[in-house]
Structure 1
């Protein structure tokens, strides 16, 4: 697979640390509108072909697939151009700013017959994959209740940087700079974590969003700090289970932690993922009577990057695909409407 990298920021560097060491993968070109950033990136990874526009890269055309690591607003036009050129695409999350655009990208990719995949990175968590296997095997019986949380603390900690002075973080707090808040930023991750782990789709949604005052006047320079910082969400799942999902950037003591609890009539599972590692616990069988939880081993799994490369080389469509990400974007869009209208909506 001859791969083009579109966008050369921090996430692109993280991806290249995976792609650069894969058998059968050759990174042949990079694109960025910032000439200096492009040069530093391409020099670091030994990439010969460098383009300041995607149009120039497509005109060159000597690549099979692209990984789209551009800002959220740029995903739609750039991915549509790549699909029109017949290129396979791995796109960062969210697929698009809203469901209509995400659906347009999905239908275009499916019509063109190109491999399409969204980088929902927590699919790489082995305990999540093991939990799903157990649910599908019926080890928990009928699923009744699901809890999921995504907790960050960068509004109360400088562990990742200082949001008061760094544009990398400030834009995420401002709708005028393209942010849809914590819901748009990590909502797709925790919704996928919950629905994938519990092996079901989301059927109904009702959400509450909250923006807390962070500085006097609610503004720093050109950044109006009006994007949501926390959300809570009540869900009905297609399998009949009830769900509660929440996320916050004010979760003191949690740098970046995802947790999923799945409760079934015959047992329960808990998946935890944090920067230091991941684990899976279960309360199953005779342990249900004593409420005893035990660690469950989870075998390593392939990363999204490896599965995308394998899919391009085999021609077999992988998961999570564009349609899945579009459906999650629909849930997020409806969640924002439920906040405004204070009513539950069917997905």
Structure 2
């Protein structure tokens, strides 16, 4: 059967009612569009702290979602069974707490539930709005925590840089092979958000590449925490250098990871390690040549190439920061939470 929004219903003939909070930003708008066109989901409400009363399609014509943006009040949650929250850190936690209190399954795209350690969160982001939910939140990188996501009521969407970096490094971390790593990361300007300010204006970005926050970026502790959980006895991630760069493209991300390993690895051995880890993954491709941002644009895919060279292993990984780095991955996790095909709508 077709729903009112013109998409096929789920395999059991029913759809799950979903709301998206925070649709005026890039990831929220894309999340709403992905729900709108999803075969098993029905987009019942979109909310925002601004632009209320306007149709999302008027703000983002490419997404063609004709619903009006409403106030994020309690009545919005009553219509839905599940929700995606795309508010900034700090603003997200109270909304997530209300939604969880009403029984909604939630994927949160802010940083509010990514870190398991409250003290680390507060150092980088400030006071937490719902610390009581931290223990029950599952990190939403399906390739690393698929079974936990299936059982979760609250999933914390990873940051875009940690998504690419963790997928690049997970096979090495799981084997305890990382002694230290340097991550050189590059992202398009959409990673700074819709209100990125002067630093992401056309004049400031075009014909230019600039590093930013090279000493203590907020995504560094996220990468370290998750790598440590993967490693059998310490990941070497404490010796991690992470330097992001802004490049003059609108969306896309590439990380180059330079890893000193605990033992020498031949290329054939490295290829076997990565193939064994990712051959069955629907959205991860191990490729034989250096990947580029354009290869994965507007997809939920991650392309990875591991290479031996000199005294380090080099691993390249590229994603679309708005898709696999945020909204697309949110749909991937939501599919798992709702017992749907993981690739549905993607």
Determine if contact 1:193/1:260 at 8 Å carries over to the other structure. Answer: no
Partner of 1:258: 255
The 1:123–1:310 alpha-carbon spacing in structure 2 relative to 1, beyond 3 Å, is farther
Asked if 2 retains the 8 angstrom alpha-carbon contact of 1:144 and 1:242, the reply is no
Give the structure with higher Rg (CA).
1
How far apart, CA to CA, are the structure 1 residues paired with 2:185 and 2:196? 20
Q: Does 1:187 align with 2:206?
A: no
Q: Distance in 1 between matches of 2:334 and 2:51?
A: 28
Unaligned residue ranges in structure 2 (runs of 5+)? 1-15, 114-124, 139-150, 201-211, 275-285, 296-302, 341-346
* Aligned residue number for residue 276 of structure 1: 294
Report if aligned partners of 1:31, 1:52 keep a CA contact under 8 Å in 2.
yes
2:159 paired with 1:143: no
2:23 is the counterpart of 1:5: no
TM alignment of 1:311-326, pairs within 5 A: 311-314=336-339
Please give the alpha-carbon distance, in whole angstroms, between the structure 2 residues aligned to 1:150 and 1:292: 17
State the TM-score, normalized to the length of structure 1.
Answer: 0.54
State the alpha-carbon separation in 2 of the partners of residues 252 and 297 from structure 1.
Answer: 18
Match of 2:40 in 1: 24
Q: Following superposition of structure 1 onto structure 2, how do residues 108-123 of structure 1 map, counting pairs within 5 Å?
A: 115-122=153-160
Kindly state the Cα deviation for residue 127 of structure 1 after the two structures are TM-superposed: 8.3
Number of aligned residue pairs: give it.
Answer: 251
Q: Deviations over 1:18-73 (max 9, x none)?
A: 33343312212111233457423489544557532322313xx1211111112333
Q: Is the 8 A contact 2:256 2:317 kept in 1?
A: no
Change (3 A) 1:191 1:259: farther
For normalisation by structure 2, the TM-score amounts to 0.54
CA RMSD between the two structures: 5.1
Residues 191, 245 of structure 1: 8 Å contact kept: no
Judged with a 3 Å threshold, the aligned counterparts in structure 2 of structure 1 residues 142 and 273 are, in CA distance, closer, same or farther, namely: same
Compare relative contact order (CA 8 Å, sep 6+) and give the higher one, 1 or 2: 1
Among 110, 124, 128, the alignment partner of 1:93 is 110
Cα 1:279–1:130 shift into 2, 3 Å: closer
What are the ranges of 5 or more consecutive residues in structure 1 without an aligned counterpart? 155-159, 173-181, 203-236, 316-347
Query: SS in structure 2 opposite 1:147?
Result: strand
Change (3 A) 1:49 1:107: farther
* Aligned position for 1:74: 91
Structure 2 vs 1, CA of residues 161 and 135 (structure 1 numbering), >3 Å: closer, same or farther? closer
For residues 192 and 153 of structure 2, what CA distance do their matches in structure 1 show?
Answer: 38
